[in-house]
Amino acid sequence: MDQEAQPEFVSRVRDSYTRWESGELAFADALDRIAILAEEARAAKHIANLAYCEMIMGVMHGYRANLDVSVRSFERARALYEQVGNRLRTTQAMHNIAECYRMKGNFVMARQFFRASQDAAAAMNKVDLQASGMINEAAMLVSMDHPDGARQLYEKAMNLLKQMPEDHERRAPLMSEAFSGIAIAHLQMNETQHAWDCAREALKWAQQAKKPLMLGLAYRALGQVVTATLANLLPDHESSTEPFTPIKITQTSEMRAVSATALGETPSGDPDDYFRLSSEALQEIKAEGELARTTFEHAKSLAARGRGMTAARKFQQAMILFTRLGMADDAAKAAQAQMKVIASTTQSD
């Protein structure tokens, strides 16, 4: 019994997936084609081929934040891979399930699956998978406002990634994701300079990886950090760290996310620039969950800069997106933030 999908079958599935990823095929069309291949695998009783289809469909639904559907696909993939004794793919499925639960805000289930996948990856000496699990668990801790625990996990993950060959295809994107996350952990600990340095590193790694998702995360982190540095310059702000002023740049117009440069030698001092670039990158791959998070963080930035009514509209957009995508925890946060900024704006009027 084959433990892996047949190479020719994989090529046919990947063809539909990559054509969707590049924008050549609509999401529904690509999904239909892969579903037909899944039926072919089921009829042929080739379990690994069927498992591969379920895994890819889970990834596609995950990008669109169809999280309940995504979890079901990954659960089926996990069961099928267990049936053929493929430990690596079973672990990858568990990791993907954990990430879906994190996106849904079900942190108890997320942590359970993250820990299980990390332990399995460590037992197989799969450094990239182990590091990826740590990075995603750390992101969960950031969303729970536990920055010190998150920072420690990010640092452990980066130490693991340094053991990988420099040309490993997963090294650059994972390093970028880790630096984006640890930047926000430093922000939560009021370590603005460290946050800035990490966010810049995240962008460098994202450009090396040439992955729109990583560019979107890096640009969002930069927007959050620049917002914080502006807050540090307000007259009544008390901080134990020295504030620094972001340097202005001249930015090229219509900068495509996948080929954007490092915004020149000096960074923009306008948070809106970074949130716009983050949205553009995430829209390229229709990563709706992360796009909603960028909208939410942009709203928080606008509120922090005193643009209350604009922020309220952004919070509304984020809340609608989160609700539609089934991201209950994030939707509740957006609703609370919107009510707070409206109340504050009304009082100031």
Domain parsing of the chain, residue ranges: 1-85, 191-235+243-286, 295-349
Whether the Cβ atoms of residue 78 and residue 87 lie closer than 8 Å to each other:
no
- Taking the C-alpha atoms of residue 35 and residue 33, their distance in angstroms, rounded to an integer, is 5
Question: In angstroms, rounded to a whole number, what is the distance separating the alpha carbons of residues 14 and 114?
Answer: 26
**Terminal-residue alpha carbon distance, the chain:** 71
Quote the CA–CA distance of 269 and 281 in Å, as a whole number.
20
Separation of alpha carbons 85 and 74, rounded Å: 16
- Whether the CB-CB separation of 214 and 180 falls below 8 Å is answered with yes
Each residue's pLDDT tens digit, 252-306: 333 333 333 444 444 578 999 999 999 999 998 888 899 999 999 999 999 999 9
Interatomic CA distance for residues 91 and 82, integer angstroms: 9
Cα atoms in the 13 Å half-sphere on the side-chain side of 118: 20
Quick check: pTM over 0.85? no
What's the average pLDDT block by block, 10 residues per block, for the chain (349 residues)?
96 95 88 98 98 97 90 98 98 96 92 96 96 96 96 98 94 98 97 95 95 95 93 42 33 32 57 96 89 97 94 97 90 95 74
Would you state the pLDDT for residue 179? 99
Measure the CA–CA gap between 98 and 77, rounded to whole angstroms.
14
pLDDT digits (tens, 9 = 90+) for 233-250: 443 333 333 333 333 323
Q: Are 52 and 76 in contact (CB under 8 A)?
A: no
Residue 331 to residue 178: CA distance in whole angstroms: 25
Predicted confidence at residue 103, as pLDDT, reads 87
